Structure 1
Amino acid sequence: MSVMESLRLWREADRALAEASRRYMRLNESDMRAIRMLMQAQKQGQIITPRDIASEVGISSASTTKLIDRLVAAGHLIRAPHPKDQRSICISVTPETAQAARETIGRQHARRFDAAVAMSSDEREVVIRFLTALAEADEPQGDLTAQ
């Protein structure tokens, strides 16, 4: 099996796992991106506003409002007054949603960790070099719309 074929298989498995997580939590891709971003920000003690979510997910302010309304109604997010700006609100993930996401992500990371631990140190170094080179090769170069 070639390197690129193995990589394709891993990407398919990763996509399938992400889709299963979205179905389990009954969320779409934008919802999941917002929740991941909010959980990471909360972990770092950051305050997140609807504008931050719009920027991360790449949607309009109107779409962000709908996303937040939907996730608040579903019990995934909480709106609260912004502690420093009375004109704004901040958004956070409910403890229940954070716990469900951590459990799902935790199992996924444990399996990936097991796969990495099964390799020798030399094998891990080769994989690290390959993945780093791949990430660098996938960086957009110039205007992607130019012919």
Structure 2
Amino acid sequence: MIVAVSEPCSNNASTRGGIMEDQVFSGMFSLASSDPEGHLINPAGLKPEDLTQIDQIMQELSRMRGIERKIMRSTQRFMNLNETDMRAIRKVISSTYAGKAVTAGELARYLGISSASVTKMLDRLEAGKHVIRKPHPTDRRSQCVEVTEETHQAAREQVGRHHAQRFEVLRSFSQSEREIIIRFLSGTSQAMEASLDSASQNNESSGS
């Protein structure tokens, strides 16, 4: 899928769009709002208090997602970057920590955008002193991308510090409690990914 790299929106437009999207996703996470007639969720065998607890978990997931989006919008405004820029910078930073060099082609595949769009984005990020391009350490025919120390520090302060709070919360749980959290998150990811794959196959079948 090719996604156009847009320029940063104005603060007002970004805020309006963000608020609307947060409200939409908040409703999607609510059992009562998303499936009041029970077409998708089978409540059989669950007590009212069970449903209330499940709904509360879904609402907390929604609230956390909303907070993450607020952090991202705040960071984008502070650094004058758009969402695709931020994803690219996070990818380069995480790869650097792992000791891996990132090329423009790898960024294009990761972001799901064209090579031309990546080149345009990197030109802009390099002009803004967010990244530098240098010879690849093992393949001199290509270049790799590195995040400048100033941008790395800004990302760490604007994003990393907030997300580090999750570690502080998780350390307060016992190992057995964390195993339950892992099982929930892993099971949820697998179930949603399987549902997405099934929907994609159905769409392809209906379109052929």
Fold-level match, TM-score > 0.5? yes
**1:75/1:137 Cα in 2 relative to 1: closer, same or farther (>3 Å)?**
same
Partner residue in 2 for 1:8: 62
Pick from 125, 138, 157 the counterpart of residue 103 of structure 1. 157
Consecutive unaligned residues of structure 1, counting only runs of 5 or more, are none
TM-score (norm 1): 0.87
1-side partners of 2:161 and 2:114: how far apart?
A: 33
Of 110, 133, 142, the match for 1:79? 133
Deviation, structure 1 residue 33: 0.9
Match of 1:142 in 2: 198
Residues 1-147 of structure 1 mapped to structure 2, 5 A cutoff: 2-139=56-193, 140-144=196-200, 145-146=203-204
C-alpha distance in structure 2 between counterparts of 1:65 and 1:79, whole Å: 11
Distance in 2 separating the partners of 1:52 and 1:20: 27
The TM-score, its normalising length taken from structure 2, stands at 0.63
Q: Secondary structure at the match of 2:109?
A: helix
**1:72 aligned counterpart, secondary structure:** helix
SS in 2 for 1:75: coil
Structure 2: runs of 5 or more not aligned: 1-54
Q: What letter corresponds to residue 141 of structure 1 in structure 2? A: D
State the identity %: 44
**Larger RCO: Structure 1 or Structure 2 (Cα < 8 Å, ≥ 6 residues apart)?**
2
- TM-fit CA distance, 1:24: 1.7
Point out the more displaced range, 78-87 or 27-36: 78-87
Q: Which moved more, 1:35-44 or 1:124-133?
A: 124-133
Equivalences, count: 147
Q: 1:115 deviation in Å? A: 2.2
Which stretch of the first structure deviates more once superposed, 116-125 or 43-52? 116-125
The residue identity in structure 2 corresponding to 1:98 is: H
Superposed CA RMSD in Å reads 2.0
